[in-house]
C-alpha cells in the first residue's frame, strides 16, 4: 500500500527536525567536551591561567581566597578534580605540601607543571637548611615568565586554540610589565632609611629584592607551619626597635595576633590594611586579581612607610 504524500512530508519534516536537533546537540557537546580540564592549586595561579585560557578551558582552583597553602589539608573534592584533570598547574618549591602529595598520588593521567620551579629561586635559610623560597610571584617579572609557560602548556593541550592563548598571554604580559614599573616607581617614594618590610612570615623576599626594600626579621620562616618560640618573639621585638621602622605588617592568610603582640611590645604600629601574601582576596576586597593584589600591597606599604600615597 502506498503511503500518503502528507505522511511522507510529515516524516521528512520530522527527520529533518530530528537531524537538526542532533546536529546542534553534537556541536554544543563537542565544544563543551573538547575544553580541557585544567586544575590550579593556588588562587594566584588560577588567576594567571584564567587570563590566558579564559572560556576555552575548564578551570578549577583548589584553594579558595584567604586560605594558607602552607598548611592546607586537601579535601576529597580536590582528589576528584585532580583525577579528572588534563593539566595541573601547581606552585612547587614546597609552597603547598599537602596538595603536592595529593597531586603525586592522584593526578597520574594529567600533565603536571610546577610553575615556580621553572625559575631560579632565592634560597632561604630554614632552620640551617638551604631551602628554595616558593613566593616567586613577589617579583612581577617572574609572573611574566610563568604566564609564558602557561600559554605554551595550554597550546600543547589544545593546539586549535594556540593563537588565542598566545594573544591573551601577550596582552596580560604587557599589563604585568606596566605593573612592574609602577611598583618600582612607588617604592622609590619611601625615604630610603624607611624602606624596610617587617611581616609575620618570610613571603616577600622576591618583592623586596625586585623593588628595593630591605626585609626585617620574621616570626615565622618561609613556611607558616610552626609557632614561634618566646625567644623568637623577643628577638624580633629587639630587631624592630633597632630598625626603627614606622610600621610592621600583618598578612591576610595568617592570624594577626602574633605580629600585633610584637608591634605593641616594640612600640610600632601595625599597618591597618593587611598584606596579601599567599592568596588573593575575597570578592569586594580590592585584591581579587594578582594585579589588584600587588597594587593594593604596594599602596599599603608605601603609605605605612611614609612614601607618597600610591592609591586614590
- Kindly list the residues in this chain that would bind Zn ion in the complex (CB under 5 A): 203, 278
- Written as nine digits, the cell of 71 is 598548611
In order of 37, 55, 85, 103, 170, the CA distances from 60 in angstroms are 8, 12, 9, 14, 23
Rounded Cα–Cα distance for residues 237 and 264 (Å): 9
Rounded Cα–Cα distance for residues 236 and 125 (Å): 17
Q: Is 78 or 278 the residue whose CB approaches Zn ion more closely? A: 278
Q: How far is the CB of 70 from Zn ion (least distance, A)?
A: 5
- Written as nine digits, the cell of 178 is 606596566
Q: How far is the CB of 203 from Zn ion (least distance, A)?
A: 4
CB 45 within 8 A of CB 89: yes
Q: How far is the CB of 171 from Zn ion (least distance, A)?
A: 29
Q: Is 223 or 273 the residue whose CB approaches Zn ion more closely? A: 223
Q: Is 130 or 312 the residue whose CB approaches Zn ion more closely? A: 130
Q: Is 244 or 255 the residue whose CB approaches Zn ion more closely? A: 255
Q: How far is the CB of 272 from Zn ion (least distance, A)?
A: 22
- The CB density around residue 8, as the number of other CB atoms within 10 Å, is 11
Q: How far is the CB of 122 from Zn ion (least distance, A)?
A: 13
Q: Is 224 or 298 the residue whose CB approaches Zn ion more closely? A: 224
**Residue 38 per-residue DSSP state:** E
CB 63 within 8 A of CB 279: yes
Rounded Cα–Cα distance for residues 99 and 94 (Å): 9
Amino acid at each position: 500500500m502506498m503511503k500518503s504524500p502528507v505522511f511522507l512530508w510529515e516524516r521528512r519534516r520530522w527527520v529533518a527536525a530530528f537531524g537538526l536537533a542532533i546536529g546542534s546537540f553534537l556541536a554544543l557537546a563537542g565544544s563543551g567536551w573538547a575544553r580541557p580540564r585544567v586544575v590550579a592549586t593556588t588562587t594566584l595561579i588560577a588567576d594567571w591561567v584564567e587570563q590566558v585560557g579564559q572560556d576555552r578551558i575548564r578551570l578549577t582552583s583548589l584553594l579558595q581566597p584567604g586560605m594558607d597553602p602552607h598548611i592546607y589539608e586537601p579535601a576529597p573534592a580536590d582528589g576528584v578534580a585532580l583525577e579528572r584533570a588534563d593539566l595541573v598547574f601547581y606552585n612547587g618549591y614546597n609552597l603547598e605540601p599537602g596538595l603536592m602529595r595529593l597531586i603525586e598520588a592522584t593526578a597520574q593521567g594529567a600533565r603536571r607543571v610546577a610553575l615556580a620551579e621553572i625559575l631560579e629561586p632565592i634560597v632561604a635559610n630554614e632552620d640551617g637548611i638551604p631551602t628554595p623560597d616558593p613566593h616567586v610571584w613577589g617579583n612581577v617579572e617572574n609572573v611574566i615568565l610563568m604566564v609564558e609557560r602557561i600559554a605554551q602548556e595550554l597550546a600543547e593541550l589544545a593546539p586549535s586554540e594556540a593563537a588565542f592563548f598566545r594573544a591573551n598571554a601577550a596582552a596580560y604580559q604587557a599589563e604585568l610589565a606596566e605593573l612592574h614599573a609602577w611598583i618600582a616607581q612607588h617604592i622609590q617614594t619611601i625615604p630610603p632609611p624607611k624602606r624596610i618590610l617587617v611581616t609575620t612570615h618570610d613571603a616577600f623576599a622576591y618583592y623586596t629584592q625586585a623593588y628595593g626594600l630591605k626585609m626585617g626579621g620574621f616570626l615565622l620562616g618561609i613556611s607558616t607551619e610552626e609557632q614561634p618560640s618566646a625567644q623568637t618573639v623577643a628577638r624580633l621585638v629587639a630587631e624592630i626597635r633597632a630598625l626603627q621602622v614606622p610600621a610592621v605588617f600583618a598578612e591576610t592568610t595568617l592570624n594577626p595576633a602574633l605580629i600585633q603582640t610584637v608591634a605593641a611590645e616594640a612600640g610600632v604600629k601595625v599597618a591597618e590594611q593587611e598584606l596579601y601574601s599567599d592568596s588573593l582576596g575575597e570578592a569586594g576586597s580590592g585584591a581579587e586579581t594578582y594585579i589588584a593584589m600587588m597594587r593594593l600591597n604596594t599602596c599599603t606599604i608605601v603609605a605605612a612607610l611614609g612614601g607618597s600615597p600610591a592609591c586614590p
